[in-house]
Amino acid sequence: MQTALHIRSLVRELQREITGGEIVKTAFYRKLRAAYLHVKSDSGSWAFGCVFHPGGSGVFLVPGSKLEIDTPEKPWPIFDLGEATVTKVEQIGLDRMFRIEVKAGHDSRAIICEAIGPNGNLWLLDGHDRIIATLRHRDYDPKTAYQTHSAREGLDPFTLTPQKLNAELDRHQEHAQSIVTFIEKRVLGFNRTLAREAAVRADVESASTHEMTPSRIDTLSTQITALAQMFDSDHAAYLHTVRGDLKAYPFKLHGDFPQPPEKFKTLSLAVVAMISSRQTSKTEVDESKIIISVAAKEVERLEIRA
């Protein structure tokens, strides 16, 4: 699943590539649980995708020519946004939510993307942030403004200092825990993989929170911020297999992996490959379960006949 840092990186892409562009087409594939905004801007033709499939989900921006949709399903337009112009894109806090503002004639609209995995959604708001429509079925009051989720409390990795990290450790000193778990729980945008990567780079992976000396705290603070800042870079991205699961990051992870990471030009392209591979794997597993179930029933039938 993408973290708030992945979303920060995507928002930077959207700001750079589609701001000022025109939405030329929208499409929703119900069976694929995937929605797309096709935007033409000065930098080219782009496809902003939101995939909410339980087998593989994510949000991304790719050149329109790179988008491959293998389905006979007829897509449906969404939100009546044809010829609208993208005026602004911004992340909502350091969270997995962002806002795309558009202008359609004299009307202002906003699309809220909740990039929270299979349970995510797209909302269309009017100029007063009242809900006009929702991509997926959700109950709402059209007279009420859209309410964002409560922001998670934690340390901002971009403004982190050794002093702030030390103060947070002091606030939780009553319960010793691994430093990796502490980072995962207390640093915004960091999941288990990112927490471990920061700890490895600071050489404190095996340390507990009670074993963090001033020198270790200083080094760890630096590594946490450095990792977060790499999501703001335009470097290549890598798709890793971590404990049997695919994960996309804008840097190579440290560790022994069954195979080297696959390199991509952008983080979005790595996310697309991750989604596709996960969905393919889930389909193969589901088909295997069906075959095994049918075979077991046939064996049971033959045993009864015998």
What tens digit of pLDDT does each residue of 248-265 get?
999 999 988 888 999 999
Instruction: Sheet with 245-249: list strands edge to edge.
Output: 245-249, 237-242, 262-264
Looking at residue 173, its pLDDT comes to 85
From residue 29, how far is each of 79, 98, 268, 305 by CA, in Å?
A: 14, 22, 20, 46
d(CA 305, CA 222) in angstroms, rounded, equals 70
Q: Name the burial class of residue 2, with classes exposed (0-12), middle (13-18) and buried (19+) by CB atoms within 10 angstroms of its CB.
A: buried
Helix residue spans in 231-266 (DSSP H): none
pLDDT at residue 285 greater than cutoff 70: no
- Two tokens, residue 247: 């994960």
pLDDT of residue 252: 95
CA distance 249 to 280: 21
95 neighbors 149 (Cβ within 8 angstroms): yes
pLDDT in tens, 186-216: 999 999 999 999 999 999 999 999 999 999 9
Structure tokens at 231: 């999501």
H helix runs in 20-150, sequence order: none
Give pLDDT, residue 281: 56
Least confident of 103-112, 113-122, 163-172, 297-306: 297-306
**What's the CA gap between 284 and 65, in Å, rounded?**
27
Q: Is 142 helix (H, G, I), strand (E, B) or coil?
A: coil
Q: Identify the three-state secondary structure at position 275.
A: helix
What SS3 state is found at 91?
A: strand
Q: Is there a contact between 112 and 89 (Cβ–Cβ < 8 Å)?
A: no
Determine the average pLDDT of the residues in 22-45.
96
